Amino acid sequence: MDKAMFKDMDLIITGVRIVDAERDEFGIIIIEDGLIVSLDSATGAKGYSVINGKGLTAMPAFVDTHAHFREPGFEYKETIETGSKAAVRGGYTTVLLMGNTNPPASTREIIESVQEKGKAIGLVDIIQCATVTDMLGGEDISHLESVLEATKFITDDGKGVMNDKLALDAMILAKGKDATVISHAENHYFSQTDMRLAENLMTYRDIELARISGSKLHMAHVSTREAIGRIIESKNEGLNITCEVTPHHLIGDSRIDYRVNPPLREREDVVALIKAIKEGHVDAIGTDHAPHSQEDKEKGAPGISGIETSFSMCYTVLVKEHNMSMNQLSEIMSEKPAKILGIKKGLIKEGYAGDIVLVDEDASYVINSEEFESKGKNTPFNGLSVYGKVIMTIKAGEVVYKGADYDSRKNI
């Protein structure tokens, strides 16, 4: 990957199928000074770098509402740099990072340092969550007044907030700061005996607390049919709730012996999630990219390294197998996640960020984690044949990822 291959050059992508949540047409995309300026024709006398998109589909670059880049503290699993490289290989240019680092993201200094390092690397835009409770201790939220000056997202992802009163107080505070609470729905009293009940009970509780507080609530990695059913009901009631589903909960089920939290569920749950997506109830694909070392994985650490295979897995399951439109896929991988994060991305439209991913819908390949840019090679999907391949990722008009097979297409 050569990050500077088209640096500071304005781009024209020609002859490409353009797909986002609102359009599906053939045309050209013109990016100037980092923004999309036209889908028609170049009017200025500027020199452009031209990318021939014939045979490819241009989509708004993907936006991830849930990822772990492990820095600070767990750099042996992943770093902001390796996570960023993995993200652009997967077609992502924006990621929301969880706060269960070491130390946890419980201070402005940590949040700002992660975001500044992301800017310095320059591959993806990073938004860092703060923890709901100080140092993930589950007992104190006094730090929130400070950290909510640096970010508008709080979560105790990986643990959840067990104290009901503290959870409500955090939501009330978040409401006053126009911040979003992200729920890791897991009742620890049932974690060792019934993970389905653990997720469902905490889902029900957090929805009720959101009703009382009026805060924005985002339900992370929804995995059970009961949980998604209650979320749909709450949305229909008009509560300010959004939700995400992971790629691995769409393509895998309990027949796969692989530890992830929440666990891979029953086939009936997978069917319910796919139905909810097709009916428009799911707002985002959150990868829950959770890289681990081989040693940590062998010791039972839960999680899948998934940001590089997210598009292919979702395209295979949702579009190829369940006939969902590419517009709908773009909606939950780009447009709605961008709205959740409050950024002007997610559509291929004049004035929006020039963040584009070029994909080959006809390409199929076999997942091989040894090819991952991520340090985490942990996935149960090695050897799985999938459709849809990310060929190029563009951020603000700059090519930040080019697939190994791109040059053979002679598009430049």
Q: Is residue 150 classed as helix, strand or coil in its secondary structure?
A: coil
Task: Give the closest residue to 156 by CA, choosing from 145, 171, 146.
Answer: 171
Task: Give the closest residue to 79 by CA, choosing from 68, 88, 91, 94.
Answer: 68
Asked whether 305 and 379 are in contact (CB, 8 A), the reply is yes
Task: Give the closest residue to 405 by CA, choosing from 369, 349, 362, 375.
Answer: 362
Active-site residue 283, yes or no? no
Q: Hey, what are 227's tokens?
A: 């949980």
Q: Note the pLDDT of residue 41.
A: 67
Please state, in angstroms and as integers, the Cα–Cα distance from residue 91 to each residue in 152, 249, 355, 385, following that order: 24, 20, 10, 19
Q: Is the pLDDT of residue 203 over 90?
A: yes
Please state, in angstroms and as integers, the Cα–Cα distance from residue 193 to each residue in 187, 190, 226, 270, 359, following that order: 11, 5, 18, 21, 42
Q: Hey, what are 216's tokens?
A: 């924005």
Q: Give the start-end residues of each E strand in 214-317.
A: 216-219, 241-245, 284-285
Please state the φ and ψ torsions of residue 260, each to the nearest 5 degrees: -145, 155
Question: Using one digit for the tens of pLDDT, what is the confidence trace for 325-356?
Answer: 999 999 999 999 999 999 999 999 999 999 99
Strand partners, 241: 217
Under the banding of pLDDT at 50, 70 and 90, the label for residue 6 is: very low
Q: Which of 134, 288, 355, 360 is catalytic?
A: 288
Asked whether 121 and 80 are in contact (CB, 8 A), the reply is yes
Q: Is the pLDDT of residue 299 over 60?
A: yes
Region of residue 99 (left: phi > 0; alpha: psi -120 to 50; beta: else): alpha
Q: Note the pLDDT of residue 217.
A: 98
Q: Note the pLDDT of residue 48.
A: 87
Residues 160-165, mean pLDDT to the nearest whole number = 98
Q: Hey, what are 125's tokens?
A: 């835009």
Q: Which of 5-19, 21-35, 197-211, 284-298 has the lowest mean pLDDT?
A: 5-19
Asked whether 57 and 28 are in contact (CB, 8 A), the reply is no
Task: Give the closest residue to 40 by CA, choosing from 11, 8, 14.
Answer: 14
Please state the φ and ψ torsions of residue 312, each to the nearest 5 degrees: -60, -40
Task: Give the closest residue to 355 by CA, choosing from 368, 341, 367, 369.
Answer: 341
Asked whether 315 and 387 are in contact (CB, 8 A), the reply is yes
Residues 64-78, mean pLDDT to the nearest whole number = 98
Under the banding of pLDDT at 50, 70 and 90, the label for residue 5 is: very low
Q: Where are the alpha helices (DSSP H) in 177-242?
A: 195-213, 225-236
CA distance 380 to 127: 28
Region of residue 94 (left: phi > 0; alpha: psi -120 to 50; beta: else): beta
Asked whether 355 and 347 are in contact (CB, 8 A), the reply is no
Under the banding of pLDDT at 50, 70 and 90, the label for residue 406 is: confident
Q: Is the pLDDT of residue 370 over 80?
A: yes
Task: Give the closest residue to 253 by CA, choosing from 268, 233, 231, 237.
Answer: 268
Q: Give the start-end residues of each E strand in 78-189.
A: 92-97, 125-128, 153-155, 180-183
Strand partners, 13: 29, 51
Q: Is the pLDDT of residue 3 over 50?
A: no
Asked whether 222 and 245 are in contact (CB, 8 A), the reply is yes
Instruction: Give residue 310's identity as a one-letter amino acid code.
Output: S
Q: Hey, what are 88's tokens?
A: 């652009």
- For the domain made up of 60-341, the CATH class stated in words is alpha beta
Burial 253-277, CB ≥16 within 10 A → b, else e:
beeeebebbbbbbeeebbebbbebb
Question: Taking all residues of the chain, what is their mean pLDDT, rounded to a whole number?
Answer: 95
pTM: 0.96
